Every structure is written in C-alpha cells, then in structure tokens.
C-alpha cells in the first residue's frame, strides 16, 4: 500500500535531540506509525518517544491511542523485543477500549527500543547534514532466517551510506532496488519480499528556506518555518537588522550585499526562497537569480503589477531564465486568507510553500473530493 509522504521533521528532530542526550545505559521506546488504512489522525511516519519514566514526545494519534501505547511500551522495555500492534477502528465507534474514536481506520504501530548508541541516530545525522533523500527500511513481519533480528531489523540508506543488520546480499540488493524506486516515487510504502514484510519510509531532503530581508515581517515567517522543522537562513545587507538576537530560531543569519547574493544559490533539494527586502532593485535581482536555480518556490512580496514590471525589465535587460521555471514564481506571495498583519502574512506564505511542496491547491478541505491525504 502506497501512502503520500508526510515527514514530521520537527517531531523527529525533537525526538532525536532527546535521545542523543541519553546516558549510555539509558533507553526509551520509539513508537512509529507504519501503516494506516482508511481514516486516521496521523499518517505513516508519525512518531512518539516514551522514556522509562513515561515522559513522551510526539504523538501517534489525536490522543486516542496514546494511553494504550504507553501501557504496551512497558513490556517492550522489559523484553527489548520490538512489536507491531494493530488498532482497528473500522467497526463500532467504541470498538477500541471504549474510546469512541470514530476514526474508521486500521493503524499499525511499531514499538522498538532506542538509545544514544543506536546507528539510527548516525544515519539521520548524516541525512540532515548532507540534505539528501533517504529511506529507512524496517522489518514488520519476518518468517525468514535471513533476517536475524526479525521485527524491527533495519536497512538505512542514503547515497554513500548504508547500514543494516546483516541481511544477506541477495535480500539486501532486492531491498536497495525497492529503496531506489521509493526515492523516485517520493512515497513511503509497505512491500513483501521473500515472505517478509517491510516498511519503506521515504525521507525527503529537508526544506531549506532562505529569506532575503530581515525586517519585522520576516521574524514571524522565520518562526513559523522553524516550527515545521525547516532549515531557515536570513540574509540582509543591513547589519543592524540581520542579527541573531532578532532571529534566534534561524539556522543562519548573514549580512550580505546584493552583489554577493549570487553566491547563495541552492543545490538540489527542497529549496524555497522569499524576496522581502522591500527594495525593488534587490528583489528584482533575487527573483532573476533564483529563477535560474532548482528552487521549487520563489516568492516575492508586493503587488502583481510590481512583479510584472520586474519580469518585463529582466526581459529588456536580456536577463534570462528557463521559461519553465516561471511556474515556480509566486507573486503576489501567499495564499488568499485575507492576511493584513505580519503574522497573518507569514502564515499565508508558509501555508502556500507547504501547499506547493505537497502539490496541493490550498483550498478548503470541505470542498475536496476523496481522501484529504491523497495527492
């Protein structure tokens, strides 16, 4: 069963930050939603960390399953044996522990131990550092002797880095081939190979957002993006504005002159940029430069006529860009939500970037036909 990728970067970052600070002998349980059929509040890839004291980070449902998951973690902590649990809410509304969930879905959750010594952490650190797409392959059902640890055995792969629990070469090659297809399709999936069932979780490159302009309106935009787990860079030519004190959540804050903007161009990845310097010539230069890159989103603050004038002047000046990249220009920027304050405008911009990333139009869900999760 294929599912549209929904990676919860902020949640995963917080979980791994917590685990990386564990003492060498400390461990916790990582609960991961591996499959959802029908309706459910969270999708495959949602995670929840539960430590030995019952403290938790993240969520695997809308609060309906967490109490039972907490109880089940005690046994997994005792035995150290990973387990997959199935919650079927498709029957009566009170069919799961009399919780009156009404979600009408079948949810499978993997519970496994995790510690600061886990190779999973090293893999994710490299994944984030190199900003590459990756795949986490986890065994869910395993009657095969080729998989020594059975449930929970993993094969982790990004370019130039593979870690696994000693799968044989034949099985490893089969899994890696499916992983390549998973990256190509950009979708997590569950696949049966040699009578064993595996969860192929697609991890996309992290969203990189560069904001050109460090005015007051850039502050909530930066904060909203960081709350989604995106990596944010702030660039402005004014030292008094481009400061870490004004943007404490930003990953990078740089003072840069307009003529140096060209050195700050994206490589392959989920790259978005917003021109909000409130200076016509600087925004024009930013738009031109980034329409010549792989950025999936180039947003420009200001009215439509301003952007039309910019494009006309670029054409007259002979400053070209691939014509197909014009579809990546969003100006006026943001979704039409009636925003008229810095915070509301930032919300409209972040929502639009997320909609573009998810290949959605950003309309009302009540008007959507079919599943709200499918593309």
Per-residue pLDDT tens digits for 310-331: 999 999 999 999 999 999 999 9
Mean pLDDT over 172-183 rounds to 91
Is the pLDDT at 31 greater than 60, yes or no? yes
Handedness of CA 292, 296, 330, 334 (dihedral sign): negative
Q: Which residues share a beta bridge with 203?
A: 134
Distances (CA, A) of 85 to 76, 80, 102, 112: 12, 15, 19, 11
CB 58 within 8 A of CB 46: yes
Q: What is the model's pTM?
A: 0.79
Is the pLDDT at 28 greater than 80, yes or no? yes
Residue showing tokens 């930050």: 17
Q: Is 241 exposed, middle or buried (0-12, 13-18, 19+ CB in 10 A)?
A: middle
Per-residue pLDDT tens digits for 224-266: 999 998 999 999 999 999 999 999 999 999 998 766 765 555 5
Predicted confidence at residue 146, as pLDDT, reads 60
- 3 state SS of 104: coil
The 10 Å Cβ neighbour count of residue 174 is: 15
């Amino acid at each position: 069963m294929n599912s549209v990728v929904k990676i919860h970067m902020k949640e995963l970052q917080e979980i791994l930050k917590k685990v990386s600070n564990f003492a060498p002998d400390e461990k916790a349980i990582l609960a991961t939603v591996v499959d959802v059929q029908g309706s459910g509040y969270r999708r495959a890839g949602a995670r929840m960390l539960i430590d030995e004291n019952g403290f938790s980070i993240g969520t695997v449902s809308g609060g309906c399953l967490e109490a039972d998951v907490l109880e089940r973690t005690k046994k997994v902590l005792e035995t150290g044996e990973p387990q997959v649990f199935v919650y079927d809410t498709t029957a009566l509304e009170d069919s799961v522990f009399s919780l009156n969930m009404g979600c009408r879905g079948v949810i499978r959750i993997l519970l496994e131990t995790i510690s600061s010594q886990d190779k999973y952490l090293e893999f994710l650190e490299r994944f984030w550092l190199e900003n590459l797409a990756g795949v986490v392959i986890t065994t869910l059902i395993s009657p095969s002797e080729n998989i020594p640890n059975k449930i929970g055995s993993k094969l982790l792969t990004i370019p130039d880095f593979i870690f696994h629990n000693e799968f044989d070469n034949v099985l490893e090659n089969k899994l890696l081939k499916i992983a390549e297809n998973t990256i190509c399709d950009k979708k997590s999936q569950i696949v049966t190979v040699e009578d064993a069932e595996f969860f192929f979780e697609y991890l996309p490159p992290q969203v990189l957002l560069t904001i050109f302009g460090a005015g007051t309106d850039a502050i909530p935009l930066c904060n909203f993006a960081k709350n989604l787990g995106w990596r944010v860079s702030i660039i402005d030519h004014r030292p008094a504005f481009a400061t870490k004190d004004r943007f404490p959540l930003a990953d990078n804050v740089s003072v840069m002159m307009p003529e140096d903007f060209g050195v700050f161009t994206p490589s392959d990845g989920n790259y978005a940029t917003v021109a909000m310097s409130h200076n016509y010539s600087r925004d024009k230069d930013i738009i031109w430069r980034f329409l010549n890159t792989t950025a999936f989103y180039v947003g420009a603050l200001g009215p439509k006529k301003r952007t039309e004038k910019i494009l006309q002047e670029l054409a007259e000046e002979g400053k070209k860009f691939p014509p197909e990249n014009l579809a990546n220009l969003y100006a006026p920027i943001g979704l039409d939500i009636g925003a008229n304050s810095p915070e509301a405008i930032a919300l409209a911009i972040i929502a639009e970037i997320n909609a573009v990333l998810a290949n959605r139009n950003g309309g009302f869900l009540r008007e959507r036909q079919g599943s709200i999760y499918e593309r």
